[in-house]
Chain A
């Protein structure tokens, strides 16, 4: 680690600044984002099988917006509150990772 001396950075713990090295894991950590209740995000990687609603549709709380297949199960993605489908970001057959924005509602 001797050759890394020049990589020393300021690192704050409890208002005090320390000179130290960062680990790759720490340097790559993502800043926290406050979740937006209007964004419907995938909680597991999988495939969008069927879209049950169209953009602009008025939807009641608990109605199925789309079917998301993951780990050999067909998961129903439900409307979280009474509202409208603002924008759909996925299409049937599309493979999506975890944390992917699928639908925006309002």
Chain B
């Protein structure tokens, strides 16, 4: 053969394998409203940046007639590429090839690109669309999953790991996404569960649809397994690209710095907040009033919305925001919100992202269900995550900071570097009504008009203690600031913290209350 012939032969081979499961299977995939694995990778990555590995890999299964079957690429596409110029490693399971089922070589391809991502210290993005283990390959499939989980764990906190669920992801397969940092789902396309509707029907006789059991909405709103919800695959890829701009390539670097921009918000911050501490407002409006370009990228918007987490930029630098949301459940801390915030705080700490905490919360949510669900253990995660974090930690107390919640929301006592409070802040051991009822119990009971006496005592307590000055007098709050000064103060705090060093005693690892 002449050289030309060799090249033509390569092209022919490529063309054939790149079709995956063939035209019919591709048609079926499109009919389900899904893109193919290859088109997904191309849509996600910068133009012409995708470099494929292992295109010609073949499976080695011999049992159950598998020796007669050819599975192109063994049902998964792997490679490297760029997103806005940042290098990433990707894999995408190809549902058109044997339902994207995971066999030995399929798993080897995935672990190969994971090892590569870890060695090169670049983010890993995994697109999941698979029917699960390839039953014909038996225990080799289980081995494959285990080796993926192991690598997810070892790479955790070293490189960013992103999972995208664009089809079924069932049984053991769900644990790889669960071990990664961010999980993206798309309405009506993503389906995640340990045991599917079929098994549930056999065991329980209960009928439930895939969508109700483990659809995108369920995981975004109820279980908290997913971090980003999109209505289409294209929207999902836009979210992933945006996320990549906010995070560093690995844990030894900082996120890319963008040109600083003033917030678009032009009103007065103090007008956002009602002066009555019992009235709600949307804390995201406050965040938008202080971040560059008023661009706030919220994470887990639908799960535990009583706490808000996400990224924004200050002076071009990525900042992680944690903020109580008085608009939902009065902004209380509970099992879910503690869990959500604690994981985010640990993410920011692992990847050198400073944390700004905006506090306005009445305490932990009371109730038998909360106590029995382990609010002690879950709430402790917040204390652990904030105390453990060594990135710059800045807190602004907007209004209420009562009781255990005051301590948990990055107080001075857990190592906050800067503690600011607005003049509207109320830092106290509990709400004025509750406190007055206990402290002045005798006076209230013995008074002729106990109601009137109670009101009087509550008023007295509010005047004396429901303010930031008691805490400021002890140095627990560094500075009481006007709301309009907030951005300026935060920019200053971040600048001063640029070279922050804070070392912890050497240990193998801590034992957080998981």
A15–B455 Cα distance when bound, in Å, is: 13
Q: Which of B206, B365, B433, B437 contacts A97 (CB 8 A)?
A: B206
A41–B340 Cα distance when bound, in Å, is: 33
B332/A13 in contact, CB under 8 A: yes
Given known contacts A13-B366, A23-B306, A45-B204, A8 and B278 CB-to-CB distance under 8 angstroms: no
A-binding segment of B117-125, B239-247, B323-331: B323-331
Chain B residues, Cβ within 8 Å of A23: 304-306, 328-329
Q: Which of B204, B304, B328, B372 contacts A20 (CB 8 A)?
A: B328
Task: Output the nearest chain A residue to B371 by Cβ-Cβ distance.
Answer: A32
B278/A16 in contact, CB under 8 A: yes
Given known contacts A25-B336, A32-B368, A18 and B434 CB-to-CB distance under 8 angstroms: no
Mask: chain A, 19-61; 1 = CB below 8 Å from B; 0 = not: 1111111100110100000000000011100000000000000
Mask: chain B, 353-376; 1 = CB below 8 Å from A; 0 = not: 000000000110111110010000
B203/A21 in contact, CB under 8 A: no
Q: Which of A29, A30, A95 contacts B203 (CB 8 A)?
A: A95
Given known contacts A16-B431, A16-B434, A45-B204, A11 and B330 CB-to-CB distance under 8 angstroms: yes
Chain B residues, Cβ within 8 Å of A3: none
Mask: chain B, 377-407; 1 = CB below 8 Å from A; 0 = not: 0000000000000000000000000110000
A13/B431 in contact, CB under 8 A: yes
A15/B434 in contact, CB under 8 A: yes
Chain B residues, Cβ within 8 Å of A19: 278-280
Task: Output the nearest chain A residue to B402 by Cβ-Cβ distance.
Answer: A14
Question: Which residues of B come within 8 Å of A, CB atoms?
Answer: 203-206, 221-222, 278-280, 282, 304-306, 326-332, 336, 362-363, 365-369, 372, 402-403, 430-434, 437
Given known contacts A22-B329, A23-B328, A32-B369, A15 and B437 CB-to-CB distance under 8 angstroms: yes
Is A73 in the interface zone, CB < 8 Å from B? no
B329/A20 in contact, CB under 8 A: yes
A47–B201 Cα distance when bound, in Å, is: 12
Chain B residues, Cβ within 8 Å of A25: 221-222, 336
A-B contact count (CB 8 A): 81
Chain A residues, Cβ within 8 Å of B280: 8, 18-21
Chain A residues, Cβ within 8 Å of B305: 23
A45/B366 in contact, CB under 8 A: no
Given known contacts A16-B431, A95-B203, A97-B206, A26 and B363 CB-to-CB distance under 8 angstroms: no
Chain B residues, Cβ within 8 Å of A8: 280
B329/A21 in contact, CB under 8 A: yes
Chain A residues, Cβ within 8 Å of B336: 25
Chain B residues, Cβ within 8 Å of A13: 330, 332, 362-363, 365-366, 431
Chain B residues, Cβ within 8 Å of A97: 204, 206
B433/A16 in contact, CB under 8 A: yes
Task: Output the nearest chain B residue to A16 by Cβ-Cβ distance.
Answer: B431
Q: How far is the CB of B216 from chain A (nearest CB, A)?
A: 15
Q: How far is the CB of A10 from chain B (nearest CB, A)?
A: 9
Q: Which of A14, A20, A47 contacts B366 (CB 8 A)?
A: A14
Chain A residues, Cβ within 8 Å of B431: 13-16
